[in-house]
């Protein structure tokens, strides 16, 4: 047991590297990309100390070149999921009582492995398997993942440090126990950092985990697993299963020891899983913690006082970075008539200047969308907009899946503020704009609030402080992350805790102490120094 009250290193955000020509990081990431492109990996299930090849495999391909196979991964059967749970529960015996500083050291080491020896590999894997351009890979797979690991260690110690009052007669203590059972982490394709953070944050707090990554992120998930192993996460603490999401989830939910779910993904899946947990609630040993960050229909609203160039840049970067595949991506905008001419011209100029293609060419701003299902869905909405009288495509609108799943950044202007693409999350490079009359500012704020079921991110651009204040109040429940004079994407751990409410999730703010609190079950301990030996109150003896 520790013989000191230890302090962890102060968490600092990882600086973003530039990847400019002739930098060492540029050479390293391109070398790693080539190596991965020209070899094939075979990813097993990771259960306890075993790496299991079930023989039932799927190919991993690059979204920007979908015939190019970069590896295979093995699919779990029900028995593997059961085995993963059994291994997790076995590992819990040692892990749940491992001193916190030992757990902290593992995850601090993992952060340094990402920052140094694994940086080029995890970025390159994110470029190959998820088609991120190098800047998007760097801010996600390297920097955000490192920040999650470093800051969560610091938040963990803040939580442990939060203790109740005592007096001379007693000492009150709270210990933050891991949950009694195991945590199930389900992760999305679009952020390598989220894939790493969901299992790691629960494990850091002393929990054991069954992790099911997205089928479209296995390629970079393999690097995360390598990092956890090298950092010293003991066997069985994080068990990884791939395959049929429904079967895996149903099997997990059958276990009486299921103690919590750490989910990020789409709203309909989360609601479905929540419903299943609800129907089995009497079956579980404890009430499972349900944490889910889900979809968004994120907005930008410009006030007539806004700077047109700032607005158009916010729209273009907010909507089209990583092909709009961020839960935070701007996908509906409200622009006053008086600014529209300038904003429109600038958007069209910017979008036409964007290069699209493989992420290996670092000059490409836009690459492919994640898979055929997403491509087909986006194409159908774009085709619909071409036919609808209340919609007009002002730039983009083409798509091609012959080599990769390429969809041009597309801007739809609609005269109908409730047009389908103003309300529905498409999760791709499609932005819809509604132009409002300047005099209808207050009505438009109401429209922003009422148009979508989501409440994840949103932004207002304005030079008028009264308008900023009015929007901040009117939209207080419309976004969990609200931006003033900035695009609604790019939250940084330690700076803008991230998460939304309404249909966007439980708003437990990934990368914050609020989130880590969901993975502990506090026990209060009262120790009395002079224990009473007489039941009578003092006055009863008089």
Ligand X SMILES: N[C@@H](CCC=O)C(=O)O
Ligand Y SMILES: NC(=O)c1ccc[n+]([C@@H]2O[C@H](COP(=O)([O-])OP(=O)(O)OC[C@H]3O[C@@H](n4cnc5c(N)ncnc54)[C@H](O)[C@@H]3O)[C@@H](O)[C@H]2O)c1
Q: For residue 129, with 0-12 CB atoms within 10 Å meaning exposed, 13-18 middle and 19 or more buried, which class applies?
A: buried
Secondary structure letter of residue 403 according to DSSP: S
User: Between 187 and 358, whose beta carbon lies closer to ligand X?
Assistant: 187
State how far the Cα of 210 lies from the Cα of 187, in Å rounded to an integer.
11
Selecting among 138, 143, 154, 327, the annotated active-site residue is 327
Selecting among 14, 138, 144, 293, the annotated active-site residue is 293
Name the minimum Å distance from CB 232 to ligand Y. Answer: 26
Name the minimum Å distance from CB 325 to ligand X. Answer: 7
With contact defined as beta carbons under 8 Å apart, do 487 and 330 qualify? Answer: yes
- Angle at Cα 202 formed by Cα 245 and Cα 160, nearest 5°? 165
Catalytic status, residue 143: no
Beta bridge partners of 299: 332, 458
Catalytic status, residue 327: yes
Judged by beta carbon distances under 5 to 8 A according to partner kind, the member of ligand X, ligand Y, none in contact with residue 490 is: ligand X
State how far the Cα of 158 lies from the Cα of 149, in Å rounded to an integer.
15
Name the minimum Å distance from CB 263 to ligand Y. Answer: 7
State how far the Cα of 300 lies from the Cα of 318, in Å rounded to an integer.
9
Q: Cα 234 to the chain's mean position, in Å?
A: 25
Give me the residues that bind ligand Y (CB under 6 A), please.
Answer: 186-191, 194, 212, 214-215, 245-246, 249, 264-266, 269, 272-273, 293-296, 327, 425, 427, 456, 499-500, 504-505
Name the minimum Å distance from CB 511 to ligand X. Answer: 8
Judged by beta carbon distances under 5 to 8 A according to partner kind, the member of ligand Y, ligand X, none in contact with residue 489 is: ligand X
Judged by beta carbon distances under 5 to 8 A according to partner kind, the member of ligand X, ligand Y, none in contact with residue 318 is: none
Residues, the chain: 542
User: Between 190 and 323, whose beta carbon lies closer to ligand Y?
Assistant: 190
Give me the residues that bind ligand X (CB under 6 A), please.
Answer: 190-191, 326-328, 489-491, 498
For the beta carbon of residue 421, count every other beta carbon within 10 angstroms: 22
- Nearest-CB residue for ligand Y: 265
User: Between 314 and 490, whose beta carbon lies closer to ligand X?
Assistant: 490
User: Between 154 and 321, whose beta carbon lies closer to ligand X?
Assistant: 321
Secondary structure letter of residue 404 according to DSSP: S
- Nearest-CB residue for ligand X: 491
Name the minimum Å distance from CB 410 to ligand Y. Answer: 18
Judged by beta carbon distances under 5 to 8 A according to partner kind, the member of ligand Y, ligand X, none in contact with residue 25 is: none
Name the minimum Å distance from CB 380 to ligand X. Answer: 23
Q: Packing angle between helix 24-37 and helix 119-130, nearest 10 degrees? A: 50
User: Between 397 and 497, whose beta carbon lies closer to ligand X?
Assistant: 497
- φ, ψ at 170 (rounded to 5°): -150, 160
State how far the Cα of 341 lies from the Cα of 347, in Å rounded to an integer.
10
Q: Both tokens of residue 342?
A: 């300038």
User: Between 339 and 491, whose beta carbon lies closer to ligand Y?
Assistant: 491
Active site residues: 293, 327
């Amino acid at each position: 047991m520790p013989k000191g009250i230890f302090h962890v290193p102060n968490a600092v955000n990882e600086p973003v590297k530039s990847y400019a020509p002739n930098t060492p990081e540029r050479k390293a990431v391109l070398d790693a990309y080539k190596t991965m492109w020209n070899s094939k990996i075979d990813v097993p299930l990771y259960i306890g100390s075993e790496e299991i090849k079930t023989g039932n495999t799927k190919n991993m391909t690059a979204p920007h070149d979908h015939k190019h196979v970069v590896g295979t991964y093995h699919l779990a059967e029900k028995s593997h999921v059961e085995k993963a749970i059994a291994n997790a529960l076995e590992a819990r015996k040692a892990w749940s009582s491992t001193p916190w500083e030992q757990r902290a050291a593992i995850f601090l080491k993992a952060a340094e492995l990402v920052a140094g020896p694994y940086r080029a590999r995890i970025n390159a894997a994110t470029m190959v398997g998820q088609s991120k351009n190098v800047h998007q890979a760097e801010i996600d797979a390297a920097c955000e993942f490192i920040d999650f690991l470093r800051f969560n260690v610091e938040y963990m110690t803040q939580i442990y440090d939060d203790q109740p009052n005592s007096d001379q007669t007693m000492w009150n203590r709270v210990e933050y126990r891991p949950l009694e059972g195991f945590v199930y982490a389900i992760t999305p394709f679009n952020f390598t950092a989220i894939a790493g953070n969901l299992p790691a944050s629960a494990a850091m707090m002393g929990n054991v985990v069954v992790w099911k990554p997205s089928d479209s992120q296995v390629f970079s998930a393999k690097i995360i697993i390598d990092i956890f192993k090298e950092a010293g996460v003991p066997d069985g603490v994080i068990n990884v299963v791939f395959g049929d999401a429904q079967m895996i989830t149903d099997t997990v939910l059958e276990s009486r020891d299921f103690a919590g779910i750490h989910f990020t993904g789409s709203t309909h899946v989360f609601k479905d899983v929540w419903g299943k947990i609800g129907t089995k609630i009497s079956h579980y040993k404890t009430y499972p913690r349900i944490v889910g960050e889900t979809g968004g229909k994120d907005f930008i609203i410009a006030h007539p006082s806004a700077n047109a160039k700032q607005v158009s840049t916010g729209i273009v970067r907010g909507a089209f970075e990583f092909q709009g595949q961020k839960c935070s991506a701007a996908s509906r905008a409200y622009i006053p008539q008086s600014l529209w001419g300038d904003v429109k011209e600038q958007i069209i100029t910017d979008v036409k200047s964007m290069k699209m293609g493989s992420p290996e060419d670092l000059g490409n701003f836009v690459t492919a969308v994640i898979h055929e299902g997403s491509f087909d869905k986006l194409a159908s909405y774009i085709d619909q907009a071409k036919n609808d009288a209340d919609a007009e495509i002002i730039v983009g609108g083409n798509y091609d899946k012959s080599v990769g799943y390429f969809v041009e950044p597309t801007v739809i202007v609609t005269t109908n503020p409730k047009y389908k693409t103003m309300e529905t999350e498409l999760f791709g490079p499609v932005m819809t704009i509604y132009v409002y009359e300047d005099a209808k500012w207050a009505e438009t704020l109401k429209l922003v609030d009422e148009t979508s079921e989501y409440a994840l991110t949103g932004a207002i651009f304005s030079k008028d402080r009264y308008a900023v204040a009015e929007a901040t109040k009117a939209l207080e429940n419309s976004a969990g992350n609200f931006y003033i004079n900035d695009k609604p994407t790019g939250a940084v751990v330690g700076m803008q805790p991230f998460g939304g409410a309404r249909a966007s999730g439980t708003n437990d703010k990934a990368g914050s102490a609020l989130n880590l609190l969901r993975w502990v079950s506090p026990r209060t301990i009262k120790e009395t120094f002079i224990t009473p030996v007489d039941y009578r109150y003092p006055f009863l003896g008089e």
